[in-house]
């Protein structure tokens, strides 16, 4: 992506459903035979990967992009193997593990790939399924979980409030016999969204949004219709972009209550924040002030917005420390920000950023979805032209990212990637 610097973003855009919710909602439909309907589904690559995974399991998936709706028809008899060629492209594929064990009594899921942001072990997923009565082994690169007699409810304590483990165990528990209590569960809005769909399908779940989920298993679920929660990470990306470029951006279909910590930090930069009935507006008329940030599980500052906040601090007034507590390799992209002239020093999971008035355009390379977004935003506040290589990562999480940037006044364009294979 070719990005011309020095542009102030201004205008209004609308966000759709959350990538981190929709993929799990799609997996959850496996729990019930028949056709479930999901609305506010973003037109991103990861949705297509999940749709293809469900098709290979025997489902019929129809994606109406114009209506942002997906119809998933789940057969009576499902396949139970999630192949490596798809799972390696998207870590969220692991979320079919719980539904398949619960519905089929067996799941063979390849160990996942996904973004290069650090080690994300599956121990919590596996240990929880074992607590529910499954046997779990690793065979030829696959996680093979079996529960031919069905799962049985049990108390589960998560050592870390893992979003993925909470989702997998929640989806497994809804069809288990008896009651499951998941303690130290993740509290993200996407978890609550999943609980709402499962409840609409007939599940019995208490404690959604808290750190303790109580699930009373039921014999079967039925299809349902559900609208996904808005994507708070995409919302946060646009709000940070507004502050970085000293712009004025209104984001519709946003829920400020899902971004309390982010809005608090942006207020600390000196930006004006207006909470609207259907969104949020952020305006910043002067150079933003640097702000310290510590990433933590929800309701803390989200790790997925850390790269953008790091880029903001790179052009802010003053110095700040950014501490990454969730993914140890999030700072991999700091080298690329430094190519743009950012003054950043890292030490373990800390980064000290000394703000500069402007950055300097240069060729850089994205390593994951959020790093790609952070580098594009940095390009907006760099002198000259910045070219961000491997922006295919963006397509996994941001629908029409470059088109929406142009709507807000940016000068960006996609070009052939000189760093692509053979380039």
The catalytic residue positions are 115
DSSP for 311-370? HHHHTSBSEEEEE--S-TTGGGGHHHHHHTT-EEEEETTEEEEE--S-EE--EEE--SHH
Do 29 and 74 contact (CB within 8 A), yes or no? yes
Q: What does DSSP say about strands 106-110 and 142-146: parallel, antiparallel, or unpaired?
A: antiparallel
Query: Is residue 103 within a helix (H) or strand (E), and if so which, with residue range?
Result: helix 97-104
Half-sphere exposure of 115 (CA within 13 A, CB side): 26
Distances (CA, A) of 66 to 251, 252, 330, 361, 389: 20, 18, 34, 36, 29
Neighbouring C-beta atoms of residue 179, cutoff 10 Å: 16
Write the Ramachandran bin of 157: left for phi over 0, alpha for psi from -120 to 50, otherwise beta: beta
Could you give the C-alpha distances from 155 to 50, 150, 188, 207, in angstroms and in order?
30, 16, 21, 14
φ and ψ at 84, to 5 degrees? -65, -35
Distance spanning both ends of the chain, measured CA to CA: 15
**DSSP H helical segments within 44-89, as ranges?**
45-56, 84-87
Is the bond leading into 299 cis (omega within 30 degrees of zero)? yes
Yes or no: say if 161 and 303 are a contact pair by the CB < 8 Å rule.
no
Place of tokens 């910045």: 386
Coil/strand/helix, residue 50 = helix
CA distances, 188 to each of 27, 164, 301 (Å): 18, 11, 11
373-387 burial by CB neighbour count: b if 16+ within 10 A, else e?
bbbbbbbbbbeeebb
């Amino acid at each position: 992506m070719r990005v011309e610097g020095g542009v102030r973003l201004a205008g209004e855009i609308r966000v759709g459903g959350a990538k981190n919710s929709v993929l799990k909602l799609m997996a959850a439909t496996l729990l019930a035979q028949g056709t479930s309907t999901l609305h506010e589904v973003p037109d991103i690559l990861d949705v297509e990967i999940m749709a293809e995974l469900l098709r290979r399991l025997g489902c019929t998936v129809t994606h109406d992009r114009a209506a942002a709706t997906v119809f998933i028809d789940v057969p009576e008899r499902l396949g139970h193997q999630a192949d490596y060629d798809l799972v390696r492209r998207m870590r969220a594929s692991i979320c079919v593990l719980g539904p398949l064990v619960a519905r089929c009594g067996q799941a063979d899921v390849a160990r996942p790939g996904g973004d290069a942001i650090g080690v994300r072990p599956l121990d919590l997923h596996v240990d929880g399924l074992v607590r529910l009565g499954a046997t779990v082994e690793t065979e030829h690169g696959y996680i093979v979980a079996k529960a031919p007699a069905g799962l049985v409810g049990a108390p589960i304590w998560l050592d870390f409030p893992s979003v993925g483990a909470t989702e997998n165990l929640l989806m497994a528990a809804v069809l288990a016999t008896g009651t499951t209590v998941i303690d130290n569960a993740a509290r993200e809005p996407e978890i609550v969204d999943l609980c709402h769909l499962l409840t609409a399908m007939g599940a019995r779940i208490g404690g959604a949004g808290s750190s303790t989920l109580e699930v009373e298993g039921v014999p079967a679920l039925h299809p349902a219709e559900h609208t996904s929660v808005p994507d708070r990470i995409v919302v946060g990306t646009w709000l940070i972009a507004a502050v970085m470029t000293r712009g004025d951006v209104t984001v519709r279909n946003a829920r400020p209550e899902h971004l309390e910590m982010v809005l608090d930090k942006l207020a600390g930069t000196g930006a004006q924040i207006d909470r609207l009935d259907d969104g949020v507006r952020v305006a910043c008329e002067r150079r933003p002030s640097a702000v310290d940030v510590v990433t933590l599980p929800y309701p803390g500052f989200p790790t997925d917005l850390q790269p953008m906040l790091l880029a903001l601090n790179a052009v802010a007034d003053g110095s700040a420390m950014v501490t990454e507590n969730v993914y140890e390799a999030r700072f991999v992209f700091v080298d690329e920000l430094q190519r743009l002239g950012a003054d950043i020093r890292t030490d373990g999971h800390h980064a000290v950023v000394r703000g500069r008035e402007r950055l300097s355009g240069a060729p850089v390379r994205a390593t994951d979805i959020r790093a790609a977004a952070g580098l594009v935003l940095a390009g907006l506040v760099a002198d000259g032209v910045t070219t961000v290589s491997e922006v295919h990562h963006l397509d996994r999480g941001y629908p029409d990212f470059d088109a929406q940037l142009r709507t807000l006044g940016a000068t960006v364009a996609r070009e052939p990637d000189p760093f692509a294979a053979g380039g």
